[in-house]
Chain A
Amino acid sequence: MRLGPEVLWLVLASITGFYGCLLLAMSQNRNWKNVHGESRIQHKKKVARRTGGSLLAVSLLLCILRDGGFAALLWPLLLYASSIAVTLILAFFPRGLRSATGWLDKSASASHRKTN
């Protein structure tokens, strides 16, 4: 395993890939309810979808920067692994994703604005 900046690129590509997949999952009502409960239905679906898609693009860019031609295999496989990881966390520990996706909650943003 090559050490140095290449490891950093790989870690960043994995994180952006994972978080991108997570946001795409959060753009679906079923997954949102699963994580945040039935009461909090209102959330920023479009923002989640667009940010998620952008993060996947960033992940691709990082894979290309790290590996050049290998990115053609690395990126889809990283996304596959990320998607499986997101699916398993949603299935077994959905509450663990609350803090990571709380900023998408519309009601929380509204109450935050009111207090300010």
Chain B
Amino acid sequence: MPLINEEFRRSMHWFHTWFGITLGAILFVVFWAGSLAVFDKEIHQWMIPETRIASVSADFSFDSLFQAFDDQVGNARSINMRPPTDRRPVLLVQYQDLEGNEKEAFFDPNNYRLINVTQSRAGNFFYDFHYTLEVGWRGIGGWIVAFAALSMMMLMISGIYVHRKIITDFFTFRPKKNTRRSVLDLHNVTAVLGLPFYFMLCLSGILSMITVYFSWSHKAPYDGNNRERLGDLGIPIIVPATGNEEHHLSIDAMLSRIESRWTGNQESPAKVDRVAVDYPGDQSAVVMWRSTTPADRITANNYLTYTDAGTGEVVSELQYGGAQAVKKWLLGAHFIQFDHITLRWLYFFAGLGGCVMIASGMVFWMQSRIKKTGMEPRKVGLVRAMTVGATTGIILSTGSYFLANRLLAKDLSAGGLDRAELEVLAFFCVWFCSFIHALLRGKKAWFEQCAAISAASLGLVVLNWLTTGDHIAKTLGEGLWGVAGMDLVVLAAAVCGIWACYCLKKASASSGDSSLPGSRPGLGSTTAE
């Protein structure tokens, strides 16, 4: 009896259908947030206009930044300095104040002046939402995403068995056939062609959180001895401040020594991309040098060195090899922080392709249920509401998040929430309302939410112009590529929304459904779903 018989195929079909429909909404959200997180720093520039700096001085000094922080912000328990990059043209200092609160400060790289920025989580929100779903309680969001990612890998494998004509249908999309067939074609094409990429993303995504999912695995061998574990990892135990002041060496002077130590005989030089100092100025101060996201290679987190701030001697150094090197490559491929604009756009479009794959799978299931069971379309209202809310709903809520950013006053706080939290609140309120709207409006919700997406997108471009003076021609002229790119993508979203409205109206008219505004009854077998 062959292993892959009809019963096996049926089992795979069952798994593919029910896990797909159950987790489809979560997977869409994860793919959507991940696609946006690819351009997190560009979104950051758009949402925090004070960080839009066209030209950055080539002479950057960590010592000057350290001094500027000391003068303009004050003392801190630890500071983490990050130099400007093409994508983030400001100096970023993440620090822990003396009370232990985590904070951020931005400095102009041309004059080391503290920038009074608009409070917003900007692109970081999508980055966090991608793997936590903003469900912080006991880290359950991360577990849900992990389960969804693991299921996604199994869904892709089961999909290969479910799809009988995988080779024949390789380049097949038939938009002129009935809607159900077209939607299935779209699902197959995006899934089959992108399968290796999506599989890699799911695997690397799970690997990136492996210490959360298997938190015991790296602690168990040390029987609770954290000091020994950190020692094996090459991470020094930070000694609390002694209170004895000591002038530490120049960071800039140490910088070249560390970089040349890393570079060795390699062709491409390793650049420090973050410098952290614990207990700055104190005798126990330790400087952490890190090259987390090298610009010229995929592999992440290549170099990590700790030096004594007083003597400049290397305290410890992290060396990767074997399985860790493979893991770091996969993490680098997932986090995509390297400097490769072509790959960045390809990741973005492939991510959107993943969204199309998931949404088309959900819509196909819905239409199949209606056809096979003869169920009245209104009885699939809950599933439709879930599908609409998870797809067009989240796109609309993303638009509302950006709209809130442009509309809320700079120093606004209300109900105990600061401005950044209010933006996130706007996102979740609109998202919730999109589900309710879909439940109440049924099939019409597709059209109405697509129309709302178009209106919001057009409004965003205009609002960006009105509130900052940066219209597309100006940002393109000044070389603010991140801001111009964001405006152009938002405009493209508006065009896609209008096109979707047109298609929905046309499909509605041909199926004789007069539920959409302006549609005319006619003949045909397609529906506006």
A residues in contact (CB < 8 Å) with B:
1, 10, 21, 24-25, 28, 30-31, 67, 69-70, 72-74, 76-81, 83-84, 86-88, 90-92
Contact = CB atoms under 8 A, between A and B. Distances in A.
Given A83-B193, A84-B193, A92-B175, A69 B168 contact: no
A76 B353 contact: no
Interface stretch (B117-125, B339-347, B450-458): B339-347
Given A30-B172, A91-B174, A91-B175, A70 B346 contact: no
Given A30-B168, A80-B353, A81-B346, A70 B189 contact: no
B333 interface: yes
Contacts of A69: 297-299
The 6 closest A-B pairs by CB, nearest first: A77-B346, A25-B171, A91-B173, A83-B193, A87-B171, A87-B173
Nearest to A22: B171
Residue from A10, A28, A73, A86 having most chain B Cβ neighbours under 10 A = A73
A74 B171 contact: no
Of the four ranges (under 10, 10 to 19, 20 to 34, 35 or more), the interface on chain B belongs to 20 to 34
Interface of B: 168, 170-175, 189-190, 193-194, 196-197, 297-299, 333, 338, 340-343, 346-347, 349-350, 353
Contacts of B340: 67, 70, 74
Contacts of B173: 87-88, 90-91
B456 to A, nearest CB: 27
Contacts of B350: 77, 80-81
Contact of A28 (B170, B197, B347): B170
B333 A73 contact: yes
B174 to A, nearest CB: 7
B343 A70 contact: yes
B298 to A, nearest CB: 6
Dominant secondary structure at the B interface:
helix
Nearest to A92: B175
20 contacts: A1-B342, A28-B168, A30-B168, A30-B172, A31-B171, A70-B340, A73-B298, A77-B346, A80-B194, A80-B350, A81-B350, A83-B193, A84-B189, A84-B190, A84-B353, A87-B172, A87-B173, A90-B171, A90-B172, A91-B174
A80 to B, nearest CB: 5
A91 B186 CA distance: 11
A111 B365 CA distance: 50
Nearest to A70: B340
Contacts of A79: 193
A78 B343 CA distance: 9
Nearest to B347: A77
Nearest to A72: B298
B189 A87 contact: yes
Contacts of B353: 80, 84
B197 A74 contact: no
